[in-house]
């Protein structure tokens, strides 16, 4: 292998509260984000990149490498957050790659948590998580906020209709079943409400698109909502109020 063919190497100079560690190792440039994430996960303060010709990872990195290798990353919309303990939350996401996903955000309720300001309803983010081998409740590691949808929170009816969209998606989907077309529908629905007033037409259109994508609307039924109710046994309780209040 000549000099031009040699891969770039990451040299990580990592400092934490107990001292300084020098970790030299082979790592393609595409792994740069993982090394930076490693530093954040372990409260490390400094990572710098240099090109080296050779090296091996220090044994200190081995446990962290196992975590990094098991990390999965996807784009997600936050559907629901529930208190787990005095310090932690259960976050339900609808993801582009995995469908509905539940994660534990450990320490998220602490004032200085790395998740502070990143976990709220309708937020769209790139999330990194470690999948559980025992249950469908996975461990959230990092959230990179992409779209907080601040405009959506300008009015009560906007929030109410957005919540209705979210409830419908939760109702018709199962955990860990990818449904990119439903993810796209929810994203478009929330984006629309961020810049447009909530209307009955928007609600009925969302229901119609949902049943079309699911393939459940029987022509004998009077409405898509009726089809959803028939298949899933119920509709979100807020629908009746929305029908009465929206114009």
> pLDDT band for position 221 (50/70/90)?
low
Predicted confidence at residue 70, as pLDDT, reads 78
Question: Which CATH number fits the domain 71-147, given the four candidates 3.40.50.740, 1.20.210.10, 2.40.50.140, 3.30.300.130?
Answer: 2.40.50.140
In the three-class reduction of DSSP (H, G, I as helix; E, B as strand; rest coil), residue 17 is classed as: coil
> Which residues of the chain form CATH 2.40.50.140?
71-147
Q: What would the pLDDT profile of 183-218 be if each residue is shown by its tens digit?
A: 999 999 999 999 999 999 999 999 999 999 999 977
For 46-87, the pLDDT digits (tens) are 444 443 333 444 444 455 455 555 789 999 999 999 999 999
What pLDDT score does 56 carry?
Answer: 40
**Cα–Cα distance for residue pair 184/186, rounded to 1 Å:** 6
Task: Give the pLDDT confidence score for residue 55 in this predicted structure.
Answer: 41
Q: Does residue 101 surpass a pLDDT of 70?
A: yes
Q: Are 139 and 129 in contact (CB under 8 A)?
A: yes
| pLDDT at residue 218 in the model | 74
């Amino acid at each position: 292998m000549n000099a031009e063919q040699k891969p770039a190497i990451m040299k990580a100079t990592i400092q934490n509260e107990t001292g300084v560690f020098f970790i030299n190792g082979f790592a393609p440039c595409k792994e740069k984000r993982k090394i930076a994430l490693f530093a954040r996960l372990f409260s490390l303060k400094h990572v710098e990149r240099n090109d080296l010709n050779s090296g091996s990872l220090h044994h200190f990195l081995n446990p962290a490498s196992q975590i990094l290798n098991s990390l999965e990353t996807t784009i997600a919309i936050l559907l629901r957050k529930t208190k787990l303990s005095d310090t932690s939350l259960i976050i339900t996401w609808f993801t582009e790659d995995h469908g509905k996903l539940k994660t534990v955000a450990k320490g998220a309720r602490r004032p200085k948590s790395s998740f502070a300001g990143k976990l709220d309803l309708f937020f769209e983010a790139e999330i990194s998580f470690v999948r559980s081998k025992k249950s469908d409740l996975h461990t959230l590691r990092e959230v990179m906020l992409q779209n907080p949808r601040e405009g959506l929170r300008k009015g009560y009816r906007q929030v109410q209709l957005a919540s209705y969209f979210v409830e419908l998606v939760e109702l018709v989907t199962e955990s860990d079943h990818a449904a990119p077309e439903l993810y796209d529908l929810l994203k478009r629905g929330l984006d629309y409400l961020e810049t447009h007033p909530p209307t009955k037409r928007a609600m009925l259109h969302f229901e119609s698109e949902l049943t079309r994508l699911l393939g459940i609307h029987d022509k004998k039924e009077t409405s898509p909502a009726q089809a959803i109710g028939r298949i899933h046994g119920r509709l979100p309780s807020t629908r009746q109020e929305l029908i009465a209040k929206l114009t």
